[in-house]
Amino acid sequence: MLDLEVVPERSLGHEQWEFALGMPLAQAISILQKHCRIIKNVQVLYSEQMPLSHDLILNLTQDGIKLLFDACNQRLKVIEVYDLSKVKLKYCGVHFNTQAIAPTIEQIDQSFGATHPGVYNAAEQLFHLNFRGLSFSFQLDSWNEAPKYEPNFAHGLASLQIPHGATVKRMYIYTGNNLQDTKAPVMPLACFLGNVYAECVDVLKNGAGPLGLRLRILTAGCGPGVMADAKVRAVERNIYFGDSCQDVLSALGSPHKVFYKSEDKMKIHSPSPHKQVPSKCNDYFFNYFTLGVDILFDSTTHLVKKFWDQIQELLGHPMEKPVVLHRSSSANNTNPFGSTFCFGLQRMIFEVMQNNHIASVTLYGAPRPNIHATASLG
Q: pLDDT tens string for the chain (378 positions)?
A: 999 999 999 999 999 999 999 999 999 999 999 999 999 999 999 888 888 889 999 999 999 999 999 998 999 999 999 999 999 999 999 999 999 999 998 899 899 988 877 787 777 778 888 999 999 998 865 555 455 544 444 444 434 556 667 889 999 999 999 999 999 999 998 888 888 888 888 888 887 788 889 999 988 865 555 444 568 888 999 999 889 999 999 999 899 999 887 765 555 555 555 445 555 578 888 999 888 888 888 878 878 776 675 433 344 455 567 777 776 655 555 666 678 878 777 777 877 787 777 777 888 776 545 444 444 444
Which amino acid appears at position 215 of this protein?
Answer: L
Beta strands in 142-220 (DSSP E): 168-173, 197-206, 209-220
Contact 170, 265 (CB under 8 A): no
60: number of Cβ within 10 Å: 22
Under 8 Å between Cβ of 78 and 59: no
CA 234/CA 102 separation, integer angstroms: 47
Sheet (strand 284-288) strand order: 257-260, 284-288, 293-297, 304-309, 358-364, 348-352, 340-345, 323-325
Burial of 279: CB neighbours in 10 Å, binned 0-12, 13-18, 19+: exposed
Determine how β-strand 119-121 pairs with β-strand 358-364. Answer: unpaired
Check residue 175 and give left, alpha or beta (phi > 0: left; psi -120 to 50: alpha). beta
Question: Residue 122: CB partners within 8 Å, gap ≥ 6?
Answer: 146
Neighbours of 270 (CB within 10 A): 11
Buried/exposed code over 230-241 (b: 16+ C-beta within 10 A; e: otherwise): eebeeeebbbbb
Measured distance CA(266)–CA(360) in Å, rounded: 15
CA dihedral 6, 9, 15, 18 (to 10 degrees): 130
